[in-house]
Amino acid sequence: MVHKPYTVLTTDVTQINLLGTKLYLAAIIDMYSKEILAYDIRTSPNMAQVTACVDQLQQVLPDDVQPILHSDQGTLYQLPRYQNRLDEVGLIQSMSRKGNCLDNAPMESFFSLAKREFIWRKEFVSIDQFKESFSRYVSRFNNVRISRKNKGLTPVEIRNQALAA
């Protein structure tokens, strides 16, 4: 169990089929608050994508933290270039045990929720429109959407409440 924000984060990439195009959504969430801290959408899952998420994450992390960043054992997460970038940012890498996808269940849960709540419920006319709409979804998810499991608070409210205590 995670007891405060910015201590354990999780990341993964999922495929989205949209308008005849395969898109890949990479994201990083805080396991404490379930806040989406970084994301990137591209037409192929690659080093630039996962590095872009780490770069975004670096912009929002407080200076005095050294979180664990958990992922599955995907090829991109095993590359020395990625691991070196995590070291530069001050992140501690953690990976799932081989064949145990349950270790990364919170990330998969977010992807499933985003697809059910947003991606599959809307019609998009272009990839650019989808990306703009997804940005608004992330903002709403973090700042407006409440969770009954979290006493009716948003992820940002959960984080702020914990940091103020």
Distance CA 125, CA 4 (A): 40
Residues 6+ apart with CB under 8 A from 77: 11, 50, 71, 93, 95
The mean pLDDT value for 88-94 works out to 95
pTM confidence score: 0.94
**pLDDT value of residue 29:** 96
**pLDDT tens-digit profile of 21-41?**
999 999 999 999 999 999 999
Does the 8-164 domain belong in CATH 3.30.420.10? yes
Asked if the model's pLDDT at residue 104 lies above 80, the reply is: no
Model pLDDT for residues 119-164, shown as the tens digit of each residue: 999 999 999 999 999 999 999 999 999 988 888 999 999 999 999 9
Q: Please say if the pLDDT value at position 67 is more than 80.
A: yes
Domain residue ranges of the chain, discontinuous segments joined by +: 8-164
Per-residue pLDDT band for 102 (boundaries 50, 70, 90) equals low
- The backbone torsions φ and ψ at residue 126, rounded to the nearest 5 degrees and listed phi first, read -155, 160
Please state whether beta strands 8-18 and 21-30 pair in parallel, antiparallel, or not at all (unpaired).
antiparallel
The percent of residues above 70 in pLDDT, for the chain, comes to 96
Task: Tokens for 105, please give them.
Answer: 């269940």
Computed over every residue of the chain, the mean pLDDT equals 93
State mean pLDDT over 43-58. Answer: 97
